[in-house]
Structure formats: C-alpha cells, structure tokens
Structure 1
Amino acid sequence: MKSFSYFMPTKILCGKDVIINNADLLKSFGKKAFIITGKASSKKNGSLKDLTKALEKQNIEYVIFDEVEENPSMEMVEKAASIGKSEKVDFIIGLGGGSSLDSAKGIGVLIKNKEAKKEDLFLAKKLESIEVIAIPTTAGTGSEVTQYAIFTDHRSKTKKGFSHSVFPKIAFLDAKYLMSTPDSVTINTGVDALSHLIEGYLTINASVLSDALSKEGMALFSECREAFLKREFTYEIREKLILMSTIAGMVIAESGTSLPHGMGYALTYFHNIPHGKANGLLLKEYLSFCEDKKKVNNILEILNMKDLDEFGGFLKELLGSFKGVNEKEINEYTETMINNKAKLKNHPFEVKREDILNIYKNSLM
C-alpha cells in the first residue's frame, strides 16, 4: 500500500432541520455573520429563512450579500469583501450552490487580509480566511467539504482555482433545500459530483481511503440512475444526491480533479455550458483514454454499465450533445489545457497534446 495522508477538518451535520436543531453551534463563531448567497434560490427553498431564524435565536447579527453570480468573478468577490470589511463581520456563511460556497471562501480571504485585492486570490503565498460555514442547496460541487474555490478570471478568459486552502468549519446538509431545484440543475450538478468521484478515483493522488469513498459515492449515484432518466427526484433521492455530492467533495479534497475539469473550463467560459454538463460531455472519452483499465472497469461495474458505450449513451440521454465548437477553437482549448500543469500532473501517466485534442474532438465533433 502506498503512503497517504487524509485531512478532513469540516464537521458534517446531516438531516432535516439541521440548522435550527444545531443553532447553538453558531455562537462560537462570533457576534456578526456575513451571509453570502444568490438573489432568489435561498429565499425560494427556505434555507435563508431557516438560517436567519437560527442566527436570531442565538442573538447573532447578520448582513446579507445576495449578489452571487454563476461562475463568480474576482470582481464580485472583491465587492462583497469590501462590504464585509466595512460591516466588521466575524464569520461567513456560504448559502447556496457551489458559486455561493466558493465565493464565501474567497471573500473570507480578502476580509481576513485587510490590504488584499482580487488579484491576491491567486497568489502563490497561502492566505488565511475568517471562519466559514457552508450550507449547500445543490448537490454537485462538494465545496462544503473542500479547501478549493473556483473563480472566473476575465483577463485570462477562463476559470481558475484560487491558491489558498479554506475548509469550512461546519457543513450543514439538509435535503429539503434541494426539493425545488430545477431538473436541469439537478442533472448538471449530479454529473459534476460523478465527475469528482471518477476523476478523484483515477488521479495520481488517489489512496485506499479516497478510493473507498469514491466507490461509495458512485454506488449512491447508481441508485439514482433511474431517477435521473425519469426526472423523478423524491426526497429520498435528494438525500442520496446531497450525500453523494459531499462524499465526492471529500474525495477531491485529498485527490484533486483531473482532465475533464481542466478541459471543461473553456466550454463554460466560451460557450456558457454549465460546469457539470461540460465535465459530463468529456467523461466517456476521458475514460476511453485512461490507461488504468482495471479502475475504469470498476467504475462501470459500480455504475451498473456494461461498457463505455452504454455509459456514453446514458450521459448523452441526460445531457444531450454539444456540437457548437469548431476545429480552430478545439485547437486553442487544447493549447490552453496542455499548459495547465496543475491538472496534467494529477493524471498518473504522461498526457500528450494529441490525447487532449482527441478527447475534445471525439466528444464535441
């Protein structure tokens, strides 16, 4: 067995009404909270109401920033941090999908480091954050248990992972907040979580512990397979999805992601394809390329797929196809990816330019 380390400092609390039932835990974080969320979904699904009720119960003041955008930009993070500094908040609560949770981490870093600017999100030197609490209301990114955050850098015309390490102190998981999630979002975020499980299982950093989590997460996804195809998302299915997503986050917190994530960023930035769908469009060809056929076969067996063609057909039925990329664009995206050393080093074998080019072409043309 190869040596490995595992670090998961986030306390995970899961169940119906988990915020209200554990409101007393919020007292230790300070007297003033900064809630980071989007404009509508947290109001619609009841999570914002539950959170503010819990804070009021503990006599904790709060400020709400509800301008989080999909694929959050550095500029938005800096704007929110400026508000947090002026309001002298003690801690941050990310409430919503991955965009809100990631934003909370970036905002926390800029608040903690008073002179920091948006460019410092990508500094090589690691900066600390004020304490973060995460409440996911979609089942996809797993950001509630990872140290990562992804932001849009318009200068580089791509999405980039920030250079710091910010684990939320507590993750509150309540499947009832997912009940109003549109089917398209449920599917795209579910495929995002699946890509975390698959990529994390196949990276060079995978360990016996992360592999065990990957397998359990993929088994949960398999149990939801018919629900995805029929678009029938009961409360019980939502419970499985949010647990799968969090497990997937625990996997990549140790092992990281690989080629589909790095390659999918261009599809999101230039073609506005949702992040999870962008990954999913590439997954079948990525598995075809992977050298570790034993692990690839394990994935197919756990997902109850007889071969890669069945897996590809399943993803196509869920996501549809996308043919809006021309050869010139694919060459440009390939060039960007071959220079993404952070993702390439996670793959256990050498990745050549033609490998990336073929994955793009076979997936999108």
Structure 2
Amino acid sequence: MNMLTYEIPTKCYIGTDVISNFGEVIKKYGDKALIVTGRNSSKKNGSFDDVKTLLNKINIDYVVFDSIEENPSLETIEKARIIGIDEGVDFIIGIGGGSPIDASKAIGILIKNIKYTAFHFIGEKNLESLPIIAVPTTAGTGTEVTQYAIVTDNKDKCKKNMGHSVFPKVAFLDPKYMKDMNFDITVSTAVDAFSHLVEAYLNTNANFISDMYCEKGIGIFKKCLIKLIEKELDMDLRENLMMVSMLGGFAIAQVGTSIPHGMGYALTYNKGISHGVANCILYREYLKCFKNQEKVRKIIDILELESIDTLGNYLDEIINLDFRVTEEEIREYSKGMASNKGKLKNHPEAITEEEIFNIYKKSLLK
C-alpha cells in the first residue's frame, strides 16, 4: 500500500438549528470573539443573529468586522487584523460564504503573529492561527473543513492561496441559511463544490479515501444537477448541496485542486467571474484533455450522463455568463498557468502551455 496521511481536525455539527443546540461548545476558545462577515447576506439569512444570540447567552463578548468583500483583499484583511489586535480577541467566528471564512483564517494568523502584516505573511513558514469557528451560509467552497484560504493580492493582480494551514476548530452547517439564496449564487457555489470533487478525483494525489468522498459527493451532485436545471430550489436541494460542499472540502483538504482552479483564478480576477463558474466553464475541454479517460468516464457514469458533452451542455444551461475575452488575453492567462507549478503537479498527465491555451480557447472563444 502507498503511504498517505489523512487529517480532518474540524468538528462538524450538521442540521437545522445546530448553533442554538450545540453552540455552547465554543466557550472553551475564549472570552472575546471577532465576528468576521460580509455587509449584508449573513444579516438577511439569520446566521448573524443566531451567532449573536448564542454569544449573549453564553456571556462571550464580541466585536464585529462586517466589511469582507467577495474575493477578500489583503487591504481588507489588514484592517480586520488591526481591530482584532486592538480589541484583544481570543478567537474568530467567520460567517458567510468562502470569502469571510477564508478571510477569518488569514486574520487569525495575523492576530496571533503580530509582527506580520497582511502584506508580508504569504510565503513565510507555516504560522498558527487563533481558533476559527466557521458558519458557512453557502454550499460551495468547503472552506469550513479545509486548511486553505484564498486571498486577493491587488499589487500582483491575482488571487493567492495564503500558504498556511488553518483548519477551523468547529463548523456549524445549517441548510436554513441558504433557503432564500437566489438561483445564480446557488449555481455558482454548487459548481464550485462540484469542481472540488472532480479535481480531487482526477488528481496526482488521489487515494482511496479521497476517491470515496469524491464518488459519494458526485453521486449526490447528480440529484442536485437535475434540480438546478429545473430551477427547483427546495430544502432538499439545499441539504444535498451542503453535503456536496463538505465532501468536496474533505477531498481537497487531502489532495488539493488541479489546473481548472489555477486557470479560473485569472478569469475571476480579470473578468469578475465567480470562482466556481470560472472553473466549470472550462470543464468540457478540461475533461476531454485527459489521454487516459478511465476516471473521467467514471465521473460521467456516476452522473448517469451519456458523455462529457452532455455534462458540458447541462453546465452551459445553468450557468449565465456575459463577458468578452481576447485571444491575446488568454495567451497571457496560459503563460501564467504554465508557471503555476503547484497546480500543474496535481494534474496526473504532462500538459503543455499550448494545451492549456487550447482549453481556454475552445471554452471561451466559441
């Protein structure tokens, strides 16, 4: 048997009203919390109020930073770092989609390691964080069970993995927070979760444990895909997408993502396309690029579809995009991807810059 390591240290509480039923477990992490969230959504979906009610009930003081934008910037993370240090917080509660929870991980590192700023901690040796409590309100990134955090570096004009391992201590997964999420956000987060499953499955580092998560998650996504096509946004869909996201997170926490993620970052930064959509608009050509189609065929079989093109057509049907890109731009994106050794090494076959360019071109210049 090949050697492998396996670690998922996050304790997950799953189901409706888990915060009110199990939230007191966070008392052991300190007396003062920094709540990190976005400007609006957590206040509309009830998660923010649930967290505040819990903290008041168990007598934990808190301060709120509610200015996290989509694709959180180092500038915003720096502002939160200063507040957290000045307020003397003991732990962080990230509420929202991937952006607030990813930002919480970076902020937690910077509060615990006060000699660093947001502009100088990437690339340093692995730094520890304050305890992070995750309250996801979308089902896409799986960040509530992974060690990763993606931040936006405006100076270098790109998105970056912060490069430090921070698993949340606790995650509260409640599908009710997604009840009123609109169709476009539901799709963009759903396909993000799907991309994690696919890229972990078609990965140099894949193993029987990660494959187990991926196959189970893809099987659940099959049910979700049908409902998304029919625009049936019921609680059954919400619950299933929450599980797809979590299983995708379990998988990429072990093996990482692959080239569509690296390729998608350029589209997100330069064209404003949501992360999951930026990955999956490349999937028809990405899946076709594999010389060995055995595991690709397994994905199509689990989804009970006829072909890669059938999957591509379904993704095209639910994804709503309107943007322009030039051949010159995708040449630049391809060059950048060809130098992304971290993603390239996770792709199980050799791939050239020209092949990467062709994936972009066939996907985007139709």
Q: Same fold (TM over 0.5)?
A: yes
| TM-superposed deviation, 1:338 | 0.5
| TM-superposed deviation, 1:120 | 2.9
Tell me the secondary structure at the aligned position of residue 222 of structure 1.
Answer: helix
Residue of structure 2 equivalent to 1:150: 150
Residue of structure 1 equivalent to 2:89: 89
Q: Is the 8 A contact 2:184 2:320 kept in 1?
A: no
> In 2, distance between residues paired with 1:323 and 1:181?
23
Describe how 1:119-130 pairs up with structure 2 within 5 A: 119-130=119-130
> In 2, distance between residues paired with 1:233 and 1:292?
36
Q: Is the 8 A contact 1:323 1:364 kept in 2?
A: no
| TM-superposed deviation, 1:348 | 1.3
1:129-168 deviation line (CA, Å, top 9, x unaligned): 0000101000000000000000111111110101100000
AA aligned opposite 2:117: K
| TM-superposed deviation, 1:291 | 2.9
Tell me the secondary structure at the aligned position of residue 172 of structure 2.
Answer: strand
1:289-333 deviation line (CA, Å, top 9, x unaligned): 123311000000111111011011011101145561111001000
Q: Rate the CA distance shift 1:108–1:175 in 2: closer, same or farther, 3 A.
A: same
| TM-superposed deviation, 1:119 | 2.3
AA aligned opposite 2:254: E
Residue of structure 2 equivalent to 1:340: 340
Residue of structure 2 equivalent to 1:8: 8
> In 2, distance between residues paired with 1:292 and 1:202?
10
1:73-110 deviation line (CA, Å, top 9, x unaligned): 01100110100000000000110000011000000010
Q: Is the 8 A contact 1:30 1:90 kept in 2?
A: yes
> In 1, distance between residues paired with 2:316 and 2:323?
12
Q: Is the 8 A contact 2:271 2:323 kept in 1?
A: no
Q: Is the 8 A contact 1:26 1:58 kept in 2?
A: no
Q: Is the 8 A contact 1:258 1:343 kept in 2?
A: yes
Q: Rate the CA distance shift 1:197–1:316 in 2: closer, same or farther, 3 A.
A: same
> In 2, distance between residues paired with 1:118 and 1:33?
20
1:183-226 deviation line (CA, Å, top 9, x unaligned): 10000000000000000001111110000000011011001122
> In 2, distance between residues paired with 1:28 and 1:153?
34
1:164-189 deviation line (CA, Å, top 9, x unaligned): 00000011000000011111000000
Residue of structure 2 equivalent to 1:305: 305
Q: Is the 8 A contact 1:322 1:364 kept in 2?
A: no
Describe how 1:1-365 pairs up with structure 2 within 5 A: 1-320=1-320, 324-365=324-365
| TM-superposed deviation, 1:237 | 1.2
Tell me the secondary structure at the aligned position of residue 119 of structure 1.
Answer: coil
> In 2, distance between residues paired with 1:312 and 1:40?
33
Scaled by the length of structure 1, the TM-score of the pair is 0.98
Tell me the secondary structure at the aligned position of residue 121 of structure 1.
Answer: coil
1:22-70 deviation line (CA, Å, top 9, x unaligned): 1220110100011000111011000011111111111001111100000
Tell me the secondary structure at the aligned position of residue 250 of structure 2.
Answer: helix
Q: Rate the CA distance shift 1:196–1:86 in 2: closer, same or farther, 3 A.
A: same
The unaligned stretches of length 5 or more in structure 1 are: none
> In 2, distance between residues paired with 1:38 and 1:81?
16
Which of 23-32 and 115-124 deviates more? 115-124
Tell me the secondary structure at the aligned position of residue 22 of structure 1.
Answer: helix
Scaled by the length of structure 2, the TM-score of the pair is 0.98
**Identity of paired residues, percent?**
49
> In 2, distance between residues paired with 1:178 and 1:124?
36
Q: Rate the CA distance shift 1:322–1:312 in 2: closer, same or farther, 3 A.
A: farther
Which of 283-292 and 215-224 deviates more? 283-292
Q: Rate the CA distance shift 1:83–1:347 in 2: closer, same or farther, 3 A.
A: same
Tell me the secondary structure at the aligned position of residue 187 of structure 1.
Answer: helix
> In 2, distance between residues paired with 1:249 and 1:16?
20
AA aligned opposite 1:326: T
| TM-superposed deviation, 1:121 | 3.3
Which of 80-89 and 225-234 deviates more? 225-234
> In 1, distance between residues paired with 2:27 and 2:154?
38
AA aligned opposite 1:248: G
Tell me the secondary structure at the aligned position of residue 209 of structure 1.
Answer: helix
Report the number of matched residues. 365
The unaligned stretches of length 5 or more in structure 2 are: none
